[in-house]
Chains A and B, each alone.
Chain A
Amino acid sequence: MLRPTPMELLAGLARTVHQTLLPELQSPYAQAQASSMIAVLMFAMAAADRTRDYDLAEVKDLRRTLSTLASRSANDGSDVAAAIARGVRAASGAPVDRREMEAAIADLASSLALKRLERGRARTVRAYLRRHLARMRELLGNASPSQASQAGSK
């Protein structure tokens, strides 16, 4: 492993801001900015570890969800069929086209909101969205405005 690692560099920078820059700052605004920098560096460190797992899980889930949707025969409209076909095409490429798969799922989520999905497909899209949102919470947390603001002021 090449040292320092990106994580070690980020941790070192956060310490520099905290221990050498912050005590020298007189302006409360500049102090708040330095605190925000530390919070962002800490977040980047935590996320760096988890982003790869998040991406892998997301791609795997998109492929599986689109494949399940394609395997269900349903009569829920040509736009739904087109979105599924678009997603399946993107999922079967080498490499897979993640953005296209996400675009297809976004279209299907819109159809779900408009109640245009057949019940089985609706259940599949809902289940994907539940897992997608859970992964996002795991990666980014579930902060309220007050909590996010406190993170920046610590």
Chain B
Amino acid sequence: MDAERLTRYLSSKMPQAADLRVVDLRRIAGGASRETYSFDIEWTENGERRSRPLIARRDPTGGLLKSEREREFKVLAAMHRAGLKVPEPLFVELDCAVMDRPFFIMHRLPGRVSPGAFAPDEPEHLRAKVADDFLTELAKLQAVDYREHGLQWLGEPRDPWEPARAQTAHWHDIYQRDRMGEHYPVMSAAFAWLDANPVATDRITLVHGDYRSGNYLYDERGIIAMLDWEMAHLGDPIEDLGWASMRFWGREEIAAGLMEREAFLRLYETKTGSRIDRERLFFYQVLGNAKMAVICLTGIRDFIEGRTPDAVMPQLVLLLPRLFDDLAAQLKLV
């Protein structure tokens, strides 16, 4: 992504902005499924010099997920309108002539990210605040009327079993595509079990699809914004809870590195005013481990076959033993 083309693009999108300049454009780590760039813009409007911090996210040449370009932008826009803590999305561009690959631009918010579970050396009061915010935002997300926000295009499930079946089929297909001919017995067992034991949801909501520790910005005030909405879809709200509370994203019994798992689940019940169906939760935790293993295999394959040069991808192999161990324990395979 180069500053000159970006300047031309933003000038065309902001005709009121005179003498627009892109400043301090740099690629930043994170968001491995898209290239992420940080920069500021400065411009003159009504005789006044202004500036704004921005983020551009561009589709990679390869990468972890084959997501639709518009999906994240449109969902982000709906969530911003609904009052969730998300960065304000500004422009989306699907024309590859502009910047080689589709991209979108959003406001850049302050804050930091934990790479995995919430950092254990953060102060206790902040951990408690982030835990509360994390589940408050999840409850807000699940209370959004997706029809009111015009999100039916994400694909409304036709029956209560469809969310579980569709997600299982989706990730099983990707597994078959990206396992590169290898047979992972635990993965075969997991998908056989998921196929045979679909769960029925009691309601359809928007599902973030990657709601977890590591996908939010926070600072001393708590959570600033939930990020990475590219896997959003309509489905079972317990899917996000199952994913967020997986042992993989936490530390042993500390869900997401935030709080003891049972207390975490009770707080979710308090925030949403609903009882968790433990059978559904278990299903989505099994699906979550299988899904994460598939995401790792996809990244490894893309690296090996040259679709992405990102040196983080081959390291994903190091995550497989923990995921397989968790699946084996869940399904009583050992």
Contacts and interface: CB of A to CB of B under 8 A. Distances in A.
Interface of A: 27-30, 32-34, 36-37, 39-40, 43, 99, 102-103, 105-114, 125-126, 129-130, 132-133, 136-137, 140-152
Q: Which 8 A-B pairs have the closest CB atoms?
A: A146-B116, A145-B116, A110-B192, A36-B311, A149-B115, A106-B188, A109-B185, A113-B189
B188 A149 contact: no
B331 interface: yes
Residue of A99, A106, A109, A130 with most chain B CB atoms under a 10 A cut-off:
A109
Nearest to A150: B115
A148 B319 CA distance: 7
A132 B327 CA distance: 14
A106 B28 contact: no
**Chain A interface, >50% SS class:** helix
Looking at chain B's contact residues, the main secondary structure is helix
Interface string B283-323: 00000000000000000000000000011101111111110
B315 A43 contact: yes
A135 to B, nearest CB: 10
Contact of B185 (A129, A143, A147): A129
Given A33-B311, A99-B181, A145 B249 contact: yes
Interface of B: 26-29, 114-117, 181-193, 196, 214, 248-249, 251, 310-312, 314-322, 324-325, 328, 331, 333-334
A108 B185 CA distance: 8
Given A29-B26, A145-B319, A133 B117 contact: no
Nearest to A103: B183
A112 B190 CA distance: 10
Contacts of B191: 110
A101 to B, nearest CB: 9
Contacts of B334: 126, 129-130, 133
A51 to B, nearest CB: 12
A132 B190 CA distance: 16
Nearest to B213: A145
Given A133-B325, A144-B251, 8 more contacts: A32-B29, A43-B318, A106-B183, A113-B192, A113-B333, A126-B333, A146-B117, A151-B315
B188 A29 contact: no
A99 B311 CA distance: 28
Contacts of B331: 113
Contacts of A137: 321, 325
Contact of B192 (A114, A146, A150, A152): A114
A28 B28 contact: yes
21 contacts: A28-B26, A28-B28, A33-B312, A36-B312, A37-B311, A103-B183, A105-B185, A109-B186, A112-B189, A113-B190, A129-B333, A133-B321, A136-B320, A140-B321, A144-B322, A145-B115, A145-B116, A145-B249, A149-B115, A150-B115, A152-B315
Contacts of B248: 144-145
Contacts of B196: 114
Contacts of A106: 183-185, 187-189
Contact of B318 (A102, A105, A133, A148): A148
A129 B304 CA distance: 27
Contact of A149 (B116, B183, B311, B320): B116
B333 A142 contact: no
Contact of B324 (A39, A113, A126, A136): A136
A106 B28 CA distance: 40
B322 A143 contact: yes
Contact of B116 (A33, A99, A102, A144): A144
Nearest to B212: A145
Contacts of B324: 133, 136
